[in-house]
Amino acid sequence: MSSHACDRALRFGVIVALLATLAGCSGRGTNPDDNEVNPAIHEPFANEEAELLALIMSGELCAPKNLYDQVNDNLLTIRDRWGDSITYLRSIQYRPFWSPSYLGLGVDDDALTDMKAGTYSAWDSLNEYFHLDQVVIPHSEYSDDRYAALSFVPRLDPRRLTAAYAGLPGLRWVQPNAPAGDWSCIYGGLHGATATYLFRHAWGDCPSGCLGSEFWYFRADDDSVAYIGNWTYSSDTTRPEWWSEARTNWGDYYGDPILWERTDTYVPTTITDLRVGNPGSNEVTLTWTAPSDSSYSGRVGSYVIGYASTPITEETWNDADHVTGPAPSLPGVEESFRLTGLTSDSDFYFAVKSGGSDGSPSPISNEVSAATLVAPGWSTFDSTNSALPDSWIGPMAADNQGGLWVATSQGLAYYDGATWKAYTSATTGIGDGTINGMVVDQQGDVWCAASDGVHRFNGGSWSMTSWQDIGLPGVPMSIACAPLGDIFIGSMGFGVAMHHDAGWTVTRAPLEPTIFDGCSSIAFGSDDDAWIGTFVGGLLRLRGSGWTIYDKHTSGIVSNTARWVGVTRTNTVWIGHDIVPYVASRYEDGTWSYFDRGNSELSGRIRGVMVDTDDHVWFAARGAVRFDGASFAALRPTNSGLVSEAVSRIVQDSQGNLWFGTDRGVSRLEEAFVGDYLGAEFHGNL
């Protein structure tokens, strides 16, 4: 996918809803060419996974019923026949690379005006034919950000949708949406009359880019399914003879769909007077004169600011970090941009490129440089200045000695208050990037919930118990230490295992497991109840052996994506949601309330919830957000020494210091400085 296409996929937002939900996918769409009923569009099938896999295998607009039935039967056969000996076959699921039934349209000024007014008629027959569900249009003043996002009721191949909408009047581009990431998956293909399935178990730096993969290959015809072979990817191993056939399934999965763009080019003039000034701990001000392009207005379409710790040239431009600049002014006007999110006490180089009205990039501007100031009370550790194996931070856990355990995509590390020590997979036996949760118990032992089971370090040696031996129904995803010292493990399939002196006790929530669902987080209140977050199953409470379910059908919770949970000493339960617009919920004295960017500093998806020793609630969101019982306050790179807004974990150590795990290392804020960065000027209103 091109960089422009990636930008468009990321910019799709929901702001102005123009059309309400239409009738369901009933097979009665009108063909825009012959005005006949379209027999290809049908009601969604019962097994979503099988339908989406059959859809991409067939290349048809909708998944054919006969292929869906075959794929559904084949998947059941593979998992039933070989799932006991190859356990990954049961957990690996098909995930579409291109979002089905979703399309983005870049539009010009006139088309945007008509779409907002409801008078753009060029797409009417297509919208009816494909059973349009909704159109949303984000508001922006300038043409490069003008687009419409379309969604459809049936499960449709987005590549076919792209081809259908390409060329409509007033469109600049048409493209499906692709969620970023890499993961374990099933890759299906058709080779003549034979259906083939390549199961892939991936590990490492997932979802950023998996480092290792193991494959199992199957062929199926109308009568039988055959297991062909297994292969673990490595650069120095010989590929099996079936790999040349199997790899086409993998390639087809990632293959670019049709991307339609108009071919007019408007290359802007070069910016030659870039200037930098007014540095802060995390920011500088850049100014320049607005350039022009050869479009009718002469106004360029966009700015991209590049910054790096080394000089920036045309050759190194792609190696720099980039942010979108201000909305362009008319040629000759002075532009000003406050660049935030820089690390403190660092040297930086800056350059700018503009994009024409059609996105055509300009040559690079002149380069300038400046140094940011020091942010008091902050320290950041990463793989370049410590023994951290990698700068991508996962679960963290503090001990009672002032130390901190940190999981990264490349192994573990321990900080004793002065120095770091790395623990590689060769030492721990834990696969890189497989730790889903971590806790230190009351004796100081470290427990890790990993993809293969539960690992324990007693200070001298590591041990492991597989999740199958524990009796859990799926992979461990969360871990916590109860007030009385017992270790609780939450797994996929809604299993909870409790470790005590007598061993393991396993219970299971009374929920029907679905794809990618289970116990994602665990927290305890002062009454010893275990509160359990789930991916899409709502909030759970375990009191003794009794379960209570809080979902949209049984309570006032606004979303069942209750992935992260924290509990205060007053037994107020906070939930971080993994879906917008419902960012966070609070359950207090039987009453539900929720928070988003409209009534708090919270925005985007929550990646973690932590309650500190002052009973303040912290959210890993866009930065780190604290609720002190009265108001919200945010720590972000723009107002602190936080190294990145992508905060994934928050932990308080036994000395009261706060640790923030990010995609660029772990930042520490000393306890004495917390008030300096969470003053009234950062508070939002409840």
Residue range 299-305: average pLDDT?
90
* pLDDT at 4 exceeding the cut of 50: no
Residue range 412-419: average pLDDT?
94
Peptide linkage before 176 cis (omega within 30 of 0): no
* pLDDT at 12 exceeding the cut of 90: no
Q: What are the strands, taking DSSP E only, across 246-324?
A: 260-261, 275-277, 284-289, 302-308, 321-324
Q: Which of 261, 290, 324 is the last residue of a domain?
A: 261
Both 256 and 366 in one domain: the answer is: no
Give the span between the Cα atoms of 416 and 493, in whole angstroms.
Answer: 36
Q: How confident is the model at residue 306 (pLDDT cuts 50, 70, 90)?
A: very high
* pLDDT at 22 exceeding the cut of 60: no
Q: Could you tell me if residue 584 is inside a domain?
A: no
Q: How confident is the model at residue 21 (pLDDT cuts 50, 70, 90)?
A: very low
Give the span between the Cα atoms of 317 and 307, in whole angstroms.
Answer: 9
Give the span between the Cα atoms of 175 and 164, in whole angstroms.
Answer: 11
Q: Which of 301, 336, 371 is the last residue of a domain?
A: 371
The pLDDT assigned to 257 comes to: 53
CA 306 to chain centre: 24
Strands 539-543 and 546-550: antiparallel
Both 170 and 92 in one domain: the answer is: yes
Tokens of 200: 């892939």
Give the span between the Cα atoms of 159 and 8, in whole angstroms.
Answer: 16
Both 144 and 88 in one domain: the answer is: yes
CA proximity to 439, closest of 523, 545, 562: 523
* pLDDT at 654 exceeding the cut of 60: yes
Task: Indicate which CATH number applies to the domain containing 280.
Answer: 2.60.40.10
Which long-range contacts does 653-657 make (Cβ < 8 Å, 24+ apart)?
Answer: 653/398, 653/402, 653/403, 653/404, 654/398, 654/399, 654/400, 654/401, 654/402, 655/402, 655/417, 656/613
Task: Out of 58-67, 201-210, 624-633, pick the least confident.
Answer: 201-210
Q: Could you tell me if residue 395 is inside a domain?
A: no
Q: What is the pLDDT of residues 232-261, one digit of tens each?
A: 987 667 889 999 899 888 776 665 556 777
Task: Out of 21-35, 187-201, 537-551, 627-641, pick the least confident.
Answer: 21-35
* pLDDT at 513 exceeding the cut of 80: no
The pLDDT assigned to 501 comes to: 80
Q: What is the pLDDT of residues 558-580, one digit of tens each?
A: 899 999 999 999 999 999 997 76
pTM above 0.75, yes or no: no
* pLDDT at 300 exceeding the cut of 90: no
Pick the residue with more confidence: 26 or 380? 380
Tokens of 591: 């009453």
Both 104 and 219 in one domain: the answer is: yes
- Cβ-count burial 69-98 (b if 16+ within 10 Å, e if not): ebbbebbeebbeebeeebeebebbebbbbb
Q: Which of 371, 403, 434 is the last residue of a domain?
A: 371
Domains contained in the chain, number: 2
Please report where in the chains the tokens 């609780």 appear, as a residue: 488
* HEC secondary structure over 213-246: EEEEEEEECCCCEEEEEEEECCCCCCCCCCHHHH
Both 112 and 229 in one domain: the answer is: yes
Strands 420-423 and 411-415: antiparallel
| Enclosing domain of residue 329 | 275-371
Residue 188 amino acid letter: G
Both 330 and 230 in one domain: the answer is: no
